[in-house]
Structure 1
Amino acid sequence: MDLRVARTNAAFESLRPEDADDGWLMALPGAEGEESAREALARVARSGTVLVAGEFRHGPPGSDLSLFLSAMRVDGPLGEPLGVVVTAREVTQRQRARRRLSQAYERAFHLGSSLDVVHSARDLTDVLVPALGDLACVDFPDDVLQGRDPPLGYPGQAVSAPRRVAVKTAEGDWPERLVQVGEPVPPVPAGPQTAGSLLEDVLVADAPTAREILGEDPELIARMLPEGLRCFLGSPLFHGGRFFGYVQVYRTRDTRPFGEDDLRFLKDMCHRTAAALDNAFRYTREHRTALVLQRSLLPPSATESPAAETAGSYLPASGSASVGGDWFDAFPLSSLRIALVVGDVVGHGLQATATMARTRTAVQTLADLDLPPDELLTCLDDLVQRMKAEADQPDSIGASCLFAVYDPVSRECRLASAGHPPPAVVLPDGTVSYLELTPGPPLGVGDNPFEVASVTLPPGSVLAFYTDGLVGHDPEAGMARLLVDLERLCCPTPGPDAHGNPRPLDQVSGELVRRHPHAEDPDDDITVLLARTRTVPESDTAVWELPADPAAVQTAREHVTSQLERWGLVEEVFTTELIVSELVTNALRYAGGPIGLRLIRDHVLVCEVSDPSNTQPRLRRALTTDEGGRGLFLVAQLARRWGSRYGDRGKTIWTEQELGTPGAGRALS
């Protein structure tokens, strides 16, 4: 496009070089190899885009003068282009440098937005090049890279084994002879500050001084200084009394020495980056502490018991979400039963982890009292309400919880929910569904009852408990996806090579977590607990009902002796007879009849005596002159453990005995 100067004013004419013709403006070259003035103005005339403060070189060779041109197209009444209006402003090299630094300050706005230390180092080099120099690099000590708190120190302190983590060049790739990313940085001779000019912790040096700092070692100079070095800047990343790393900036093509504006800019950028690194370490410390605390509170990932085989998986939230308060638990109860628990505490971080610790401990304590699921959640709800009353921010305290008890003798699973999604069940025939459950309000709301659901499960059924992190932000779609995944993972695959063996639960739970759409970067904790149910054969249980008659004690002893002989547990006869005699006698004396007696054989021998009374049995030490009061004390000495639980009608006192230990020897000890 033919562009000719049509009209100028006196101020514009004052910028015209001596002996220059009217085409001098079009001949101006672009700064730093960019488009010329003719190309820029032709683009404005063609497209109608506006040129704002484009920089073009002006003046004789070696001059530091430049022109900032701004231009816009002028259109006619019918929209046809008539020409281009141009305004020009002459600037010096110093003014250009300030403008470049101003633009760099704008680009540095995102510094500190990342919690990753290496990412922060890369962001810093992107800001420094080309705004400040032609090359820049960042080195971190091993403490920073390993996620450990840097030791207390001072700017310029020598650091052992620093490693290069980020580099940037204005043109081309990072020179091969220099230290590369990931390589250790060679040690520099002590006291480099004495050889250079140290201005408020920033080391400024020209090429000869930089070589002198390195001790004139040719190999070290080749590894540390780029070819054509003209001047050098070095600054520590120092914040809060801790040294996080070191930044170096080199000028090779730019002949200007570093000025005060350059030093101030580097110090500002290093201060921002060091503050961001310190913030990242604070986050990392809290995240690691919460994670270690939470993992230490979770049970073993897999357990084996007569009631069920269990496996759990836990994936903490990543990014800024931090660790939350999800937990799962599986622990034995009396009479070979097992408790299955999953919960989710409100919030993230140490507060949520501490709340989870208190809640999980309370669940185990209440479960040890053999409370029904609904009563347990009611007591737990009272605890969370007290925690809210004690907290500075009550809204940050709350939780959901699902508590279930499975009995391998009756194959009955009783469960209750406090604001938690229902568990899924995979039956041995491959049927997959969610259990019908009426959830109560989340813990901490109060004044609302919880309902107990009951289901009888065939042996080999898989119960799947989970938190909302597994189903995601769309619960309906997530729960549908979970059923599909459970059907594929839990049911044996038909085919000529299939043996019909169920897949191990630890593999299933891990795969469920990995199949989550955001498993690589979850925004919430993902928790899964699977339990494959088992049953106690009918041949390993024996049940009798005794009348409220003193002769029932002898009858109970005879039943026990006969049953243990059939099971081949002759060595346990003596101890079990004593336990049954004491428990049945107490039931006759304090509760009346009818009296239930049950034996269960597994890895332990369970003895249960039930009566219609709700009186709490108490263990006490009888005085020498007392005629009674030694029954429960004797039972506690003979059994491995004992306790009582309440049912719909009366209570049951139970004992457990280790099998394989001679009963007479234990009774006499």
Structure 2
Amino acid sequence: MVRTDVDAFLREIALRLRPRMDELVDRLVSSMREEVVWGHEDLTDLAVRSAQEHVDTVLRALEHGSDLAAVPAPQAAIGFARRLAECGGEITELLRSYRIGHATALTVVREEATRLTDDPTLRNEVADTLITGSFGYVDLASEQVVTAFQQARDSLLQRRLIVVNEASRLIGTRLDIARTAQELAEVGTAHLADFVTVDLLESVLGDEGPLPARGALAVRRVAQHSVLDGCPESLLPTGSTHTFAGDSGPAEALASGRPLCHRVTVGDVPAWLTPSEGQRRRLVDSGIHTMLLVPLRARGSPLGVAQLFRHRTAAPFDDGDLLLAQEIASRAAVYIDNARMYTQERATALALQRSLLPDLPHRGGAVETAARYLPSGTRAGVGGDWYDVIPLSGARTALVIGDVVGRGLYAAATMGRLRTAVRTLADIDLMPDELLTHLDDVVTRMQHEEGGDLDGISATCLYAVYDPVTGQCALASAGHPPPAVVPPAAEGRPAAPHFLDAPIGPPLGLGGLPFETARLDLAEGTLLALFTNGLVAGPGRDPGLGLTELLDVLRRTGSSPQDACDRLMTALLPSRPADDVALLLVRTHRLDAHHVGSLELPCTPSAVSRARSYTTGLLTAWNLDELAFSAELVVSELVTNAIRYGREPIRLRLILQSTLTCEVSDAAATAPRLRRARTFDEGGRGLFLVAQLAARWGTRYTRDGKVIWAELPLPHPPPSPS
């Protein structure tokens, strides 16, 4: 009987509260909003609808006498839980709102029961029934909404993880700043926004590197992308520069390092977004209603800001979108910074590399040269390939090509050190094998100076010396491929290029292993091709096939070295070579008898007078009478020195090329030296006079002795020999 009275009384309460349902919902929502801070404006409608269905469900159960503990949560409550999860809300926030709503609902029912009856027994029974049933209802509803919340959160996290993984795959495919920024804009429009712009600080794109974001920000629009063709929403073209004021949204986001979300309405368009009235109208006409400002920072330094806009997507950005945009932007910022550092290092290494390479083409009496250097087209960076053409005494020319193992500034700097060492050793006229032996010592010493792994520095090098008087080329290799030789075409027979069959020594840096000099005679007009491995080898490319293609191109090349260089680079290299390439082509020439004079001399004092007479006669034949006095004096001193300190055979040789070279050779290895003669000394002034009259002078050693030489500058322009 009591139970029936309680159920009937609860039914009466429910019927009396039904007309006041809107009032109850407002009271319920107000109590939750006062105690729970959701921070998501778009949840308001869902919260009201959820509260309405909760009240309706409870009232219906009371009206029909149903067990509240068995009534499931309404669909609006499930939807609210899912949406709260998608907006980044917390499960504790949801459960607290249920406790507050439960307490409010109990208070309303008890207040109504108090107004309807004065019977304390009935009130207590009603209270017990409500408490038992409502707690069961709240427990069951909480379990169901928590499950829905967790499923939505898991799904959201999975989707976010998929987007982040895709962003990691699509952003940073190249070490290029503009390309990386464009990839960020494209990923942003694919998953978050309808229009994305990327502005980078001018300081980031310059050489000084990132600077703190203070005051006005000078930026450049490096990328933008839209779901619409042609980016009609854009107010600035890609590549343009502009400035954000210090109190603007982008400046605030960049200074704080936190993303910002802005609502855009017809009456509230930020001044920094549209400085002019025309731009404001264009923005409003495009329908943009929400924007995200996401700072791009890497390694603690500001790089720029990405702006994400929505106009085709009806829903505004929420906290979940903000977190996802921040995650993608942070990854992209690291890739952009990597590209920035790589670009700066590559530019520095390339500038250093090019500054150390000689200025070609070179055309003299001995050789005609042309060269090409092409840095790697991959992210591996600039390497240590180099070439050089060094004029030597006696109209000879040294030809050098080499390759330092490694990439970047270190390889370029090491290349510079080795090139300097080669030039220094070439200046003392060493034989090719001796020069490489000394160069190997230099590399070994560099390894020890590094204090690390002795294999840290390694290089290959080919050193050749061409003598246009004899037509002989002497060369030695330290781990470097031999040159290709293209002899001049004979009558009725085309040129037959081939690789020189010369011994290849160990690479530089191994230490203590011998090198060997090979000699070959070159006919007039022979073409030598010196190259590094990057020309004929690469990933997935057979080096043997590359060498065959090299010979095939040379076989069809009958043009100048310049044209031959272009043909080889075009035929053998892809658009982005995987390794650096250095190529040096040399066309050899011979000096005919009209430019060389030679005289054998006895080891007697009378030979000095004979040498002077021979020199005077030869200079007259060469129309160089104005050099007779200087040349006679130089020849006299060199011959006298050879007679006094050397031994037979003694030979005088005069070479007319870009300078007049006077050479005296003998079979002794005693080195002459320049010394200061005292006032009453009878000798010691000969080499001093030679040094004063000659542009250059020196000594080179041969297998049979030494050669003392001096070069005299010619009149300009030099006369032709008669």
Taking structure 1 as the reference length, the TM-score comes to 0.78
Distance of aligned partners of 1:450 and 1:223 in 2 relative to their CA distance in 1, 3 Å threshold:
farther
Are residues 1:655 and 2:655 paired?
no
Deviation at 1:216, TM superposition (A): 8.9
- Cα separation, 1, equivalents of 2:691 and 2:713: 13
Deviation at 1:528, TM superposition (A): 0.3
With 234-243 and 146-155 compared, the bigger mean Cα shift is at 146-155
Q: Which of the numbers 214, 220, 225 marks the counterpart of 1:167?
A: 225
- Cα separation, 2, equivalents of 1:175 and 1:443: 56
Equivalent position amino acid for 1:460 in 2:
G
Equivalent position amino acid for 1:347 in 2:
G
Equivalent position amino acid for 1:510 in 2:
D
- Cα separation, 2, equivalents of 1:582 and 1:408: 26
Aligned to 1:498: none
Instruction: After superposition, give the CA deviation of every residue in 1:558-605 in whole Å (9 maximum; x if it has no partner).
Output: 222222222222222222221121111111111232311111122321
Distance of aligned partners of 1:602 and 1:183 in 2 relative to their CA distance in 1, 3 Å threshold:
closer
Aligned to 1:349: 408
Any idea what SS the aligned residue of 1:355 has? helix
Deviation at 1:479, TM superposition (A): 0.9
Any idea what SS the aligned residue of 2:684 has? coil
Equivalenced residue count is 566
Matches within 5 A, 1:506-517: 506-517=562-573
Equivalent position amino acid for 2:563 in 1:
Q
Aligned to 2:286: 227
- Cα separation, 2, equivalents of 1:461 and 1:362: 29
Instruction: After superposition, give the CA deviation of every residue in 1:262-285 in whole Å (9 maximum; x if it has no partner).
Output: 322222222222222112111112
Q: Which runs of 5+ in 1 are unaligned?
A: 1-57, 68-88, 492-502, 663-669
- Cα separation, 2, equivalents of 1:330 and 1:196: 57
Aligned to 2:550: 482
- Cα separation, 1, equivalents of 2:624 and 2:193: 87
Distance of aligned partners of 1:554 and 1:217 in 2 relative to their CA distance in 1, 3 Å threshold:
closer
Instruction: After superposition, give the CA deviation of every residue in 1:173-204 in whole Å (9 maximum; x if it has no partner).
Output: 35524336526377667633499999863221
Q: Which of the numbers 233, 243, 263 marks the counterpart of 1:206?
A: 263
Contact map agreement 1:315 1:513 (CA 8 A) in 2: no
Contact map agreement 2:608 2:636 (CA 8 A) in 1: yes
Q: Which of the numbers 506, 531, 537 marks the counterpart of 2:586?
A: 531
More helix by share: 2
Matches within 5 A, 1:93-242: 97-110=156-169, 111-142=171-202, 144=204, 148-154=207-213, 158-160=216-218, 162-163=220-221, 165-169=223-227, 172-173=228-229, 175-179=231-235, 182=238, 184=240, 191-193=247-249, 201-208=258-265, 211-213=269-271, 214=273, 218-224=277-283, 227-240=286-299, 242=301
- Cα separation, 1, equivalents of 2:485 and 2:631: 38
- Cα separation, 1, equivalents of 2:625 and 2:472: 31
With 117-126 and 192-201 compared, the bigger mean Cα shift is at 192-201
- Cα separation, 2, equivalents of 1:434 and 1:197: 63
Matches within 5 A, 1:189-588: 191-193=247-249, 201-208=258-265, 211-213=269-271, 214=273, 218-224=277-283, 227-240=286-299, 242-391=301-450, 392-429=452-489, 430-473=495-538, 474-489=542-557, 491=558, 503-518=559-574, 520-588=575-643
Equivalent position amino acid for 2:259 in 1:
V
Any idea what SS the aligned residue of 1:160 has? strand
Any idea what SS the aligned residue of 1:211 has? coil
- Cα separation, 2, equivalents of 1:288 and 1:195: 30
- Cα separation, 1, equivalents of 2:647 and 2:249: 94
- Cα separation, 2, equivalents of 1:241 and 1:65: 37
Contact map agreement 2:447 2:454 (CA 8 A) in 1: yes
More strand by share: 1
- Cα separation, 2, equivalents of 1:147 and 1:523: 27
Deviation at 1:150, TM superposition (A): 4.8
Distance of aligned partners of 1:107 and 1:225 in 2 relative to their CA distance in 1, 3 Å threshold:
farther
State the identity as a percent: 43
Instruction: After superposition, give the CA deviation of every residue in 1:331-353 in whole Å (9 maximum; x if it has no partner).
Output: 11001110000000111111111
Instruction: After superposition, give the CA deviation of every residue in 1:24-57 in whole Å (9 maximum; x if it has no partner).
Output: xxxxxxxxxxxxxxxxxxxxxxxxxxxxxxxxxx
Equivalent position amino acid for 1:413 in 2:
C
- Cα separation, 1, equivalents of 2:154 and 2:477: 69
Any idea what SS the aligned residue of 2:379 has? helix
- Cα separation, 1, equivalents of 2:236 and 2:251: 26
Aligned to 1:28: none
Q: Which runs of 5+ in 2 are unaligned?
A: 1-73, 84-146, 490-494, 718-722
